[in-house]
Structure 1
Amino acid sequence: MATGNSDTWLERVLMAASVRRWSRVAQQADTTELPRLRRQRAAARKLKQRIDKLIFVADGRLALPVVGNQAFPRPHEADWAWRPDLWCGPLAVPGISSVQSKSMLGSEATLFHDCAHSEITLRQLRNLRESDLAAYGLRLDVFKFDGSYLSLAVDLPEEASRGLKRKHLIRVETIVEMEKPLEIFARLNIKHGPNTEQIVRELPLNGQEIRVEFDLAYTRLNEKRVERMWLDLIFEGPEMNQVILRDLTFSRRPRAEL
């Protein structure tokens, strides 16, 4: 009875037989009769075209960051680390044009603004650089901007809040490309009971490593009532600009005891 692996096994057998046949043909080429050698050369050229195409496509695809990849450098002793799904795998709806406020791209990212007329687009794109660890990136295009604020909120999963203490440091790292300089601020929000703690850091966009850390020791966090966390990326002066977030990762670690 045939199984799901039968075809794969048969393909391997046939491919091995083909390799042996062409190896034998190549070894005998010096003594093969010319009419037969001419036919073999024509067949080999057709085969070479298909093999070259396979190698070209395979090299391109295999050089891409792996879909679903959660691997990235994280601090020593990190007890939680995460890359949002938007940067890991393809979305069912990859983009939105004329984005209205509170529109979501995927299940974790929401765009907020107060424009009377939106000339903003959001689109997920495939990362193609060998240096990229994230499979996908997020492109934000802003044309005319008549609002006073523009922010992208990223909801953190429940695991980020579970066991959260004031001794924790929350690290955010990203890779940003932009058409022209602008300021981006990261605001960490932690809801605990009726209150929400907020910590704001400016992203160091001039550095090679775009990284900020939030020290929860300087908050009045009620550790017993932590409900959820989210990050706001706030874009200052975004008009007529394109911003690409190639990656976005989070990690959590306890501060070293003094």
Structure 2
Amino acid sequence: MALSTRFFQYALQTGVSRFWARNARNAAKQDLATLRNQRRRARALRQHLDTVISVAESRLALPIIGSNAFPKPHGTDWSWRPELWREPIPTKGRAAVENKEMLGDEVTLFHDCRISELTLRQLRNHREKDLAPFGLRMDVFRFDGSFLSLVVDMPPEAVSGLRRDHVVRMDTIVEMEKPLEIFARLNIRHGPNTEQIVRELPLKAEDIRVEFDLAYSNLNEKRVEKMWIDLIFEGPEMNQIVLRDVTFSRRLRADF
């Protein structure tokens, strides 16, 4: 915006503000016809001002888009919130989601249903306690398959310098219409092999968190190529599952 235009807008806003300040001071002694006209104009102006204030307070109270802020354990050397929970994606949702269909660039849904009655949708988080700007809602209606999983591909930084004395942690916030079991399976490809570690999410705990201690794996540190996680949903039929946040961090395990 040109400097002259900004100056003009500032001068106009200042003049309008002074105009209404003067009317407010003189309202008690103003003639009734003029006061009636001023009331009509003030009500029309107040409607626009109330709208600006309401929208501004709502938007400013939301988690900031692009935020990668979340609590991390001491000694964290890598942390990450996937794009779907961090940024608005071009396609907000998909219905009748097919096997291996993606939402964004990092999240893929896997299932073996003959007829898909699954939907995925990115939604904006509005709750005061939410740190993630966005969440992911999955609606499952009739389910005639034997498995349903959501795969999150991690970036190359996740495996850069990865060692067997690392602990990988996943934190999430989950909402469900009815109880079900969710398992998290960490997958690390190293050469021709893939190391897998499975943990059940403690959905009744206040902090839904799982840790994968690589000391108990057969990881070949010199051949690590890729890491991803499967979220496996057991008995998902006729349920709505909302993942309000999903974050990952990595730290070296303590020496004893």
* Shorter-chain TM-score range: over 0.9
Specify the code of the residue in structure 1 equivalent to 2:108: T
Are 1:111 and 2:106 an aligned pair? no
Which residue does 1:120 correspond to in 2?
118
Q: Which residue of 2 aligns with 1:163?
A: 161
Alpha-carbon distance in structure 2 between the residues aligned to 1:141 and 1:38:
54
Any unmatched runs of 5+ in structure 1?
A: none
What residue is the counterpart of 1:177 in the other structure? 175
Pick which of 35-44 and 166-175 moved more: 35-44
State which of 213, 216, 219 in structure 2 corresponds to 1:218: 216
Q: For residue 78 of structure 2, what is the aligned residue in structure 1?
A: 80
Q: 1:38 to 1:97 in 2, by over 3 A?
A: closer
Q: Secondary structure at the match of 2:76?
A: coil
Instruction: Answer with 163-172 or 44-53: which moved more.
Output: 44-53
* Structure 1 position 176, deviation (Å): 0.5
**Could you tell me how far apart the structure 2 residues matched to 1:18 and 1:115 are?**
63
Q: Quick one: which of 61, 68, 84 aligns to 2:66?
A: 68
Aligned partners of 2:248 and 2:171: how far apart in 1? 7
Opposite residue 66 of structure 2, the aligned amino acid is: G
Residues 226 and 243 of structure 1: CA distance in aligned 2, closer, same or farther (over 3 Å) = same
Task: Measure, in 2, the Cα distance between the counterparts of 1:6 and 1:167.
Answer: 61
TM-score by length of structure 1 reads: 0.94
Q: Distance in 2 between matches of 1:217 and 1:193?
A: 18
What is the CA-CA distance between 1:42 and the residue it aligns to?
2.4
CA deviation map 1:95-128 (0-9, x unaligned): 1111111111110001111112211111111112
Residue 43 of structure 1 corresponds to 41
What SS is found at the alignment partner of 1:128? Answer: coil
How much does 1:21 deviate? 2.4
Q: 1:9 to 1:65 in 2, by over 3 A?
A: farther
Mapped partners of 2:3, 2:164: distance in 1: 53
Compare 231-240 and 58-67 and name the one that shifted more. 58-67
Partner of 2:27: 29
| SS of residue in 2 equivalent to 1:30 | helix
Count of aligned residue pairs for this structure pair = 256
* Counterpart amino acid of residue 90 in structure 2: A
| TM-score normalised to structure 2 length | 0.94
Counterpart AA for 1:18: V
